[in-house]
Amino acid sequence: MTERLDQPRELTSRVRLYYDPEAFGRLSERIARFLGTARFIVYMTVFVGAWLLWNFLTPWAFDPYPFIFLTLMLSLQASYAAPLILLAQNRQADRDRIQYEQDRITAERNQAEIEYLTREIAGLRIAVGEVATRDYIRAELQRLQDELSGQAS
């Protein structure tokens, strides 16, 4: 059967997995945060120690001496941990970039406000320089009094 171009294709029953990228990102951050703790190191050490003791001391050893299965398990854990840590780092870098942009905008706004206030203060200084102060008026009155007393004599 040839495909008709004037009609849409029939939908085939494909199963597509849907996941929420934001929820997956949050989960990966939680896992990466846990992988970077002393608790994880202790748990992993206890797990490996129990594995080794079980396979050395019991007759039901399922992973004899070269511990190939243990190596496979640790490699699998590392192969999942690395991308999760990178995903968490990328999300943190995105948050840092947004925070940096907001900080830059705030700094620009603060700088503009400082410049405005500096101009206002300079304007007030000029205006105050033109206003007669108490000392200036006193000095002028004293001068006038001296002039008047000099004319009367």
HEC-encoded secondary structure of 89-146? HHHHHHHHHHHHHHHHHHHHHHHHHHHHHHHHHHHHHHHHHHCCCHHHHHHHHHHHHH
With respect to residue 4, please indicate whether it lies within any of the assigned structural domains. Answer: no
Contact 70, 48 (CB under 8 A): yes
The model's pTM? 0.59
Position with higher pLDDT, 130 vs 136: 136
Please report whether residue 111 resides in a domain.
Answer: yes
Residue 78 inside a domain? The answer is: yes
Query: Residue 7 domain-assigned?
Result: no
pLDDT at 138 over 80: yes
**pLDDT at residue number 41:** 95
pLDDT in the model for residue 83: 92
> Mean pLDDT lowest for which of 5-19, 23-37, 130-144?
5-19
| Number of domains making up the chain | 1
Residues of the domain holding 71: 21-147
**pLDDT digit string, tens, across residues 60-93:** 999 988 999 999 999 999 999 999 999 999 999 9
- Residues in the chain, total: 153
Q: What is the pLDDT averaged over residues 9-29?
A: 82
Cβ atoms of 25 and 84 within 8 Å: the answer is: no
Residue 14 lies inside a defined structural domain of this protein: no
Residue 44: inside a domain? yes
| Inside any domain, residue 95 | yes
Q: Is residue 16 part of a domain?
A: no
